[in-house]
Amino acid sequence: MPHAEIKYSDDLQIDSRAILAEIETIILRHDAGAGACKGRAYPTSEFHHSHVTVSVSLLVKSHRDEAFSAALLADLEQTVSARLPRPCEFSFGLHYATPHYVTRRLTA
């Protein structure tokens, strides 16, 4: 299950729910078996320069090679940046979890 986080200075008007939903849609378009993308947004009132940082994490899989990563990153960066106000600083990171990362659903 992928993860997405948006961290941003709260002087920017951002529709983080829409961005997170779009991130999930794009991941699934590139990898239909990826599953739901858990997402969180963190606005902060303490910052130096207006900025947005987006981070997407995926598990390592054999089909998620360099070409896959480059195409996914380009699609995500272009789509997310189009939804952001101007001017602002913007960073986007695509990360892969180590083999020692566990994700599972906890139930009662």
pLDDT for 1: 86
Q: Are 56 and 3 in contact (CB under 8 A)?
A: yes
For 47-106, what is each residue's pLDDT tens digit? 999 999 999 999 999 999 999 999 999 999 999 999 999 999 999 999 999 878 887 889
For 12-46, what is each residue's pLDDT tens digit? 999 999 999 999 999 999 999 999 999 999 999 99
CATH superfamily of 3-96: Macrophage Migration Inhibitory Factor (3.30.429.10)
Helix, strand, or coil here: 77?
A: helix
DSSP state of 64: -
pLDDT for 102: 81
Helix, strand, or coil here: 22?
A: helix
Q: Are 12 and 54 in contact (CB under 8 A)?
A: no
pLDDT for 99: 78
For residue 35, the tally of other CB atoms under 10 A from its CB is: 14
Domain extents for the chain? 3-96
pLDDT for 103: 79
Q: pTM for the full model?
A: 0.91
User: Using a CB cutoff of 8 Å and minimum separation of 24, what contacts does 63-66 make?
Assistant: 63/31, 64/31, 64/96
